[in-house]
Amino acid sequence: MEVEKYNLVQYPAEVLASVAEPVEKIDDSIRRLIAKMTDIMIETKGVGLAGPQVGAPLRIFIVSLDSSREGVKVYINPTVTVEGAVDSSVEGCLSVPGVSAKVRRFSRCSVTATDLDGKRFHEKAEGLLARALQHEADHLDGMTIVSRMGEAAKIAHRKQLRKLAEAHKAQK
């Protein structure tokens, strides 16, 4: 795995609309990928980043609610289970720049995943962490905030979405 080739990809890149593959083995290439993802997330001031967002179609994401390197937590092959009430809050996405919209998510969730040392862990989350975990898990299933936006938000952001689509087409 050549980590240098991984960079932030933008909507509507195909990798963002595809279901990611499980990570088979945690090795140095996965560790390098996580380091690269961490650099990208911190540079762009994000709170989470999934493998597909850097062009790596793997079931892996990182979260750091304070956007710090020290706060980064790694989730490999995560399973997120949602619970609680559903609420709406404005979300943005590093892969859909210039777009933010109200997205409905569950107020709580739990996640079971593997860390970089190969240890399985389970945690419960609420508030921003629950929202971030659900957002990143969506990326592993081929969904972006565009998939979750209502029609009014899609109409409101149509110029920016069209601009992203045209930029994507020009890169091909």
Q: Catalytic annotation on 43? A: no
Q: Phi then psi for 58, rounded to 5 degrees?
A: -120, 150
Sheet with strand 73-92: strands edge to edge: 48-50, 60-63, 73-92, 100-114, 120-126
Catalytic: which of 2, 126, 136, 151? 136
- Residue 91: strand pairing partners: 101
β-pairing, 120-126 with 73-92? unpaired
Q: Name every residue whose Cβ is closer than 8 Å to that of residue 69 and which is 6 or more positions away in sequence.
A: 38, 42
Active site amino acids: 136
